[in-house]
Every structure is written in C-alpha cells, then in structure tokens.
Chains A and B, each alone.
Chain A
C-alpha cells in the first residue's frame, strides 16, 4: 500500500501526538496533521476527527488504496432464482493461462457460511456443481485477471449451464421457516371479551436498499505465511475475521482484517463483506497477487442484502376511551434464500411488535421464512421499522374509529415507569416515551396544526390550504396533512447477543505517553473515531484530543463486538469508561495523589506502558430466555417521536414531505452535531422508505438495480428536518448513553403515512406510498363517497379556485 497517513495500518507505532491547536502566523489553526483553518472554527462539540481527511480528499476508501501488481476479481452469478447448477464451461478458444478461476471445489475450508456465531451456516461461499441455486445473482464461480480488459474478456468466455427448478417468492407460501417465536402475556381471550371495539388490519412492506454511496469493496493481499490480509469497506472486522478462518482453513494470525475508510453502511456492510472478503481471498491465494473486488452499483444492488420485506397482521381490542386491552400480532419476515441474520432481525421485530404501549393481554407470533430472492439482512432499524409502521398505523385507525386524536390515544397508552412489557420486562428506568411525544407535539403545536388540516379536509378546502405547496398550481390541487408517530428501540443486541460476543475494550498508555483506545468499532459516517475518544477522555479527566483511536485492524485491536444495533455509544462506550477508570486509578495510585491528567505522561516515562481492559458483564435484571422469549431483551430502551407534514397532489397521488420534526432520546448526547446528523440522516431514509423507495422484484430478480431506477431522496425532495434531542440517561452504564442511530428510521414512515391520511382521509397499508397507491386509495375513497371527494362525504371538489 502506498498511502500512509496516521490512521492507516502499520503507521500506529510512528504516530506522534497530534499537534495541539496553535495560532500560526497566518492566523490559521491546525486541526489535523498538516491541515489548518483560517480563524476560529465556531462549532458545537469537539471538531470531528474524521472531518479534515474527508473534506480534502485524503481519506482512503478501499478503492483508493493502491497495491502494486494487484489483479481484478469478478463474480460469475446465476441468472435464475432457483435452479440446479449443472456445469461451468470455459471457452476453449480463450487463453486462460493468465486468468484464475475458482469454483466451490477450490474452497479449502468450510463451504458454507453463517452470518454470525450461533447461527446455522447455510449460505454457500459458491454454489457447488450439481448443487442448488437458491437466488438470482447467487455466486457460482470467481475469476481474476491482471487487468480489467482481460477480466472482461474472460467473463465472456464463461458459460453457466443450469436446469430451472420451481421457485417460491411469496413468503406466505414458504414452507421453510428459519425461526419463529410465540410470545404470550395475559389472557388474550379475556382481553378481547372485555373490549368495546376490535379492529383488524394487515400491513405490508417491501425491500429497501441501504444504498450507501460507496459500493461494497474488498482487496485481499496474500501474506507470506499462507494467510491473507483484507482491506475493505466494512462495519464488523470481527465478522470477517472468523469467516476467513473458516472458509480458508487458516488460523487467527493468518487472517487479518483492516477496515478502510467506509462510505456508509447502514447495516448493508454488516454481514455481506464477510462473503466478499472470502471471495477476494480465494482468488488472491490462488494467483498469489493482491486481488481487488470493487462492486459496481448494479452488482451491489442486484446481489447484496436488503431490508426484509414483511407482512404484519394486527387484531386489537380497545376500550371506548382508547385503552388497549388486547393485541394479537402476527409478523412474517421474508428472509430471502439463506438464513444470514434473519433470526436476529426477527428477534427485534418480535420484541418491538406491540409498539411502545402498555397492553395487558398480548400474543405475538412471528416467523422468518425462506424465499428464492437474495438473502435479506441488516438495515438500520433491523426489523423494528417493519413492525412500528403497522402498530402505529393501526393505532391511528383505532383512534379515528373512536374519535380520539392520534396524540391523545398515544398519551393514554404509552409505557410509563414501572409498566411491564409482553416479555415480562419491568421498565424501571429511563422511560421517556411520553416525554418525546410531548416534545414533538409541542414543537409543532400538533393539536392546532391538525385542527387546521382537519377543518380544511372537512370543508373541502384542503386543496387550497397549502399556499406554499410546491405541488400547488391552479389546476393541480393538493391537500396537506400532519401526522405523528412514536416508537421505542431496544439498546444493543436482542436477548443474550451481548453475552455471546463478550466484547472487550482496551485503553492503553504507551511508553511515549500517548493514550489510545483499542476497539474494533468502526467509523462509517457516524463519528466513532470522535465519540469513543471523547467518552474515554472524560473518564480520564483529560482533553479528548489527547486520546487517540487505534485503527480498526484485527492485528491491533481486540474484539469489542460489531458496529451494529446502535451499541457503540452504549455498550462499547460503557466498557471504555470502565477500562479508563481502571487505568486512571492505577496511574493515580502511583503518582502520589496527582490527577491522571497531570501525571500520565510522566508515569509513562517512568513506568513504561500500561493497559486496562474491560469485558462485557451482563446487566442486572431478568436474564432473557431465548426459547421462551421472556425476560429483559434489552438493558434499556430508547424513545423516539416524529411529526411529518405532507402535501398530497390529488391528481397524481404524489406525496411531498414538507417538514419533519424528529425527537429522539439518546440517553445522553455525546456530541451534539454528530447526534443530530444521525437523526437527520435516519429520518430521510425513513421518508424514502415511506414514499419512493421500492425494489421491484420480478421472478426473484431486482428490476431496478441501478441508481437511475432505484430512487432515493435528493436535496430537492428532502424536507427540512429538525432534530430535537431528549436525554433520559440509562443508569446501567456509567455515562448514561443509549443507542441513537436507528430510532429515526422507526418513526419516519408511520408519521408520513399518518400525515397522508390527515390530508386525504385514505389509509396506506403498504409501503411505500407511491403515487399509484395513493391514487388508488383516492379513487376507491371517491367511489365510496357519492360526492366524489375523498375522505369525508359532503362537498364536491371546489370548482373555481383562484
């Protein structure tokens, strides 16, 4: 590798203390080695460490790394959703001498992969000859060549012979269940018997693509000891590490995983990079050259994991005043062709299915099933958005039927301190559902705003009420509406996940007096390299720029668990505080009463390096029983609310989300700008999910596998997003932080759908609310109303508008 900056692997030992900010002659302030700004940067919180390199183009993403003599690798994939793999034919007229080809027969280790420890390995690294292809774009063989042109030509020389088999696409038709749960609390029959009203509903959601702007990318470099080092775009170095060991039959030292700068993950780089790393490594070990596998966008969308599509059914009993007395919920997730992370995703769907509401009698049945589409996997929210949209929309329908406002029905039912969840968890601390709800309502004066939109709808003036609507013109009537949603989100892994990882974090004071955090948690946009040193520095009582963050390289840092499940700030941050406190106590004990801040450099000079580590310890509370699905699935819950305002074009069905207020309880906000950034970004992904993001699937293949056809919101589509942070600290960790990154993803879609209802009177029960679905709803509702006006019988559309 030719690049070398302090954050790059191999440079660790040579890294000096970063220069402290100092005023230069030109009044430039140094903010990173060799980079300065003029004057003083006015900002909130410490300057983001990852910032300067990303702004100058210095940051080295995988495809930016140069390995002299590297070859290029490619994947030969299936073009059927289910088939028998009969033969791989190489064109005899092509010169194969300078090309390597890998099939399943070349895999030295285990031929099947599992996403994480404890889950059944069922996904072939490559489909073996004679084996069954289970999804479109499934990897069948790998090829590599010294240059791209040879690679392209070689690709054309490969022919795949298959025999089609009948596929299954509808999850409701699948007979292969990866995992299922049945959670029962109270007496459902008695609950329904006591109810004044029972309402049923079915809700559906399709795939959503993570669409990180940097495609999947991995470079494998063979090492002299017969092992391999991979440099890649990835979230979890310690997922990739065991995957390499298993598939390549190498030991822990022969496998080394180095994270390159990562251009977004959102879950999409949680488990998939393991497969890609194995692929690149198989090629590299065979040709004995570094091999680059950098996906193009089309391949990335066609082959990698998506958010699980879901079907969710609700049957709910309520009292006249809106009190929930019975919830019967069925959740079906479409896992795609292999198990991957589906059981873990389903665990979260199951625990979150009832929403943040107290209900004494509950039954939640859930299952994740196999279909012949590419495996679905992790995506921000991880199974929660798929159940929060249904429960929130269903609750709004109940409120409407009872004549209660959506705000009021939430106030009546939201969990309070001391309430018990369906798995039997007593919510004994940090319960902020009501607080986030009230803050959101107050920020927009919800009742008053809704009174206006309601009045407009009832009097038939809705279409002209939006003077500023971008959709509005004399001949294009639009209606505006406002909607609110509320959610909870469990911090960290579901159930005993944390126990399985047994994460460990180390903090060291090296012989030169540099303090350094060693953890495997990765930066991919959220600011990990900034916030973890901040947390450590605070515990040590020193400025945060005196703490360095070691590179995410399995040769250097311990396994502090994956960077997923919004666990970095809470779980890893908590371990870090404990480790830092130990180090501080040790140094202070031998420094004759001086503080760590005063003593540490001298301590290092005198006593040499010191290290302290902390390992995950279970939180107090009831242990979670994975089989019965009872106990405390999470040590704490985060709470989120969202208010969205929309304009709906009543002629085209197009929905424009105008502005959004998102209120999130992160326990404690570590860095205000980074926290808001998480909320704003997550909210926009949720709005995309609600309105435009739809994977079109035909015969198990994603039809819109390009950026021109899978649309995400642009700056012009995006609403103004206001992030409001609430802090309800979690007392189970020393620094009080709970997760944050995923919550905004849970609440955005139901808020938008509620706003569409407020504007038009129609209920969208299937995401996204595309113009076609909205129009179909408007037409159906117009048909149901003699007057032809959607939503509220009475007047016809006003004729002569200005």
Chain B
C-alpha cells in the first residue's frame, strides 16, 4: 500500500492503494468516478482516457503510484458546477447538438482527447481532429458526428463571446 495524493477535477484526493493498482480502478472503484470507462484494459480502445497534467493518458495502463502529486481531469470535471446544477462545456454541448454520442461508451474518452486538442489551440480542420482522436475507438458513430462536434466546439471557442 502506498499513500497517494493528487488533484482530480480540482478536488484534492488522498488514498492508500497498492502502487500498481490501475488508475482506472482507483477512479472507478475507490473514488466512484465511473464516467471513465473500460473497453479493453490494454491501452487499445481509449475508453479509459483521462487528462493527466494536460496530456491524454489511458488510465488502464497508468499505475496509481505514478499519479502522486499530479493533476487529473475526468469526464465528470468537464461540466461547470453551479448551485443550480451543472452547465455543459462547449464541447459537451456540441456533442449534444451534432449527435456525437450514441451508446456513449467511447464518449468520455473522446471528450477528453478533444478537450486537450482544443485547449492546445486545435481548430476545426477535419484531418487534425481525426488525428487527435485516433486513439479513441468508436463502434457506433462512424466518427462523422464526433468530428463535426469537435469542429463546432473549435469554432464556438474561437468566437470571442462564445465561450
């Protein structure tokens, strides 16, 4: 057992876990953040993607000991929390508008890969978006509406008054 401290979606977390426990299990089972999904457990599908210090990682391959002192963002951290409830961020709203989520299993990982892409200044260019989500498999959508959603969010984000 190792003591591990990190920030998840802005909140400090401190827990005891075997150092090699998968970050995915820490999030889902120890912290109840089940928005992060498991699709393969071996780094191939991207369903378990989270943002670790600004980079997308597959949490099924990250041991808990490696996140000590770091900053994690999961799908639960995208929407803004207000006293009246949560407000979807521009990307989530764009997925809703274009139909980017079907069964929803790939969605959390897609949103986070797209978030990092947009935060790094990514624009609405289709090929660049395809590259950005190349590590996230989706079996439902054919990717078309996911790409549309990310492009839409990129455009919304560029409008000064939008975001």
Contact = CB atoms under 8 A, between A and B. Distances in A.
B85 A715 contact: no
Contacts of B126: 720
A525 B140 contact: yes
Nearest to B32: A66
Contacts of A526: 102
A673 B145 contact: yes
Interface residues of B, number: 61
A48 B97 CA distance: 9
A61 interface: yes
A48 B149 CA distance: 14
Interface in A674-694: 674, 676-677, 680-685
Contact of B39 (A36, A37, A50, A213): A213
Contacts of B49: none
B130 A712 contact: no
Contacts of A51: 95-96, 101
Nearest to A680: B142
Nearest to B156: A39
B86 A213 contact: no
A676 B99 contact: yes
Contacts of A683: 142
B133 to A, nearest CB: 5
A51 B79 CA distance: 14
Interface string B77-107: 0110010111110001101111101111111
Given A36-B85, A57-B36, A264-B140, A213 B74 contact: no
B40 A55 contact: no
A212 B40 CA distance: 11
A61 B44 contact: no
B133 A213 contact: no
A721 B85 contact: no
Interface string B3-43: 00000000000000000000000001000111111111110
Given A36-B88, A37-B87, A60-B34, A214 B97 contact: no
A230 to B, nearest CB: 19
Contact of A38 (B93, B134, B138): B93
B104 A718 contact: no
B75 interface: yes
Interface stretch (A27-35, A221-229, A505-513, A764-772): A27-35
Contact of A215 (B28, B39, B86, B107): B39
A43 B75 contact: no
Nearest to B133: A715
Given A41-B97, A264-B139, A706-B44, A714 B134 contact: yes
Contacts of B40: 297, 706-707
A712 B136 contact: no
B87 A26 contact: yes
A448 interface: no
A56 B103 contact: no
Contact of A28 (B42, B87, B106, B141): B87
A308 B84 CA distance: 51
B55 interface: no
A707 B137 contact: yes
Given A34-B85, A680-B142, A683-B142, A212 B103 contact: yes
Given A681-B139, A716-B130, A264 B84 contact: no
Interface in B100-155: 101-108, 111, 126, 129-131, 133-147
A36 B83 CA distance: 12
A147 B99 CA distance: 39
A51 to B, nearest CB: 5
Interface of A: 24, 26, 28, 30-31, 33-38, 41-43, 47-48, 50-61, 63-64, 66, 210-215, 261-264, 266, 296-297, 524-527, 673-674, 676-677, 680-685, 706-708, 712, 714-716, 718, 720-721, 723
Given A48-B101, A57-B35, A527-B102, 11 more contacts: A35-B86, A36-B85, A43-B96, A51-B95, A210-B139, A212-B103, A213-B37, A213-B45, A264-B103, A525-B102, A673-B145
Interface of B: 28, 32-42, 44-45, 47, 74-76, 78-79, 82, 84-88, 92-93, 95-99, 101-108, 111, 126, 129-131, 133-147
User: Which 10 A-B residue pairings sit nearest by Cβ, starting from the closest?
Assistant: A57-B35, A54-B104, A525-B103, A263-B105, A680-B142, A525-B102, A707-B44, A684-B142, A64-B34, A34-B85
